[in-house]
């Protein structure tokens, strides 16, 4: 594995380089000076989604959701808990399928919430339905990335 990782800023979506051994340190974006990992979830649109997907050396955990979806509302705080627990080894992002219908179609989203793990731009795991944070974290850790 590379000793330097590409990390996409969750704020301005600039690609940053970070030594692997400093992944757990408080990395700062070279462009906007935002913290690269703050244990929260990043909302992406089609443009920023592709930037993260194509340039991230850490796995992306993506929650495809919609604001009218009851299970999605139940899942949201559990997803945030898992992000706080598993960052910086994973980047947690959300895609609103109502606003980003083209992305939902591109990835064949048929039910929501649908969670997909991508590693180096490739889908490596998928599941649908809400789950508690412990189960979600265990599922993510079980995915070979």
Annotated catalytic sites, by residue?
69, 72
Residue 86, sorted as left (phi over 0), alpha (psi -120 to 50) or beta, turns out to be alpha
Place of tokens 């992406």: 44
State the Cα–Cα distance between residues 61 and 29, nearest whole angstrom.
Answer: 21
Residue 129, sorted as left (phi over 0), alpha (psi -120 to 50) or beta, turns out to be left
- Quick check: helix, strand or coil at residue 106? helix
């Amino acid at each position: 594995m590379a000793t330097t990782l590409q990390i996409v800023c969750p704020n301005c979506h600039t690609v940053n380089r970070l030594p692997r051994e400093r992944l757990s340190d408080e990395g700062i974006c070279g462009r906007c000076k935002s913290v690269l990992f703050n244990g929260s979830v990043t909302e992406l649109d089609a443009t920023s989604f592709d930037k993260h997907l194509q340039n991230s050396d850490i796995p992306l955990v993506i929650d495809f959701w919609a604001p009218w979806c009851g299970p999605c509302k139940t899942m949201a705080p559990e997803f945030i808990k898992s992000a706080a627990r598993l960052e910086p080894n994973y980047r947690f992002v959300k895609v609103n399928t109502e606003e980003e219908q083209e992305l939902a179609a591109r990835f064949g989203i048929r039910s929501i919430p649908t969670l997909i793990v991508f590693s180096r731009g490739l889908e490596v795991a998928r599941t649908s339905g809400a789950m508690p944070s412990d189960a979600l974290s265990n599922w993510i850790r079980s995915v070979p990335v």
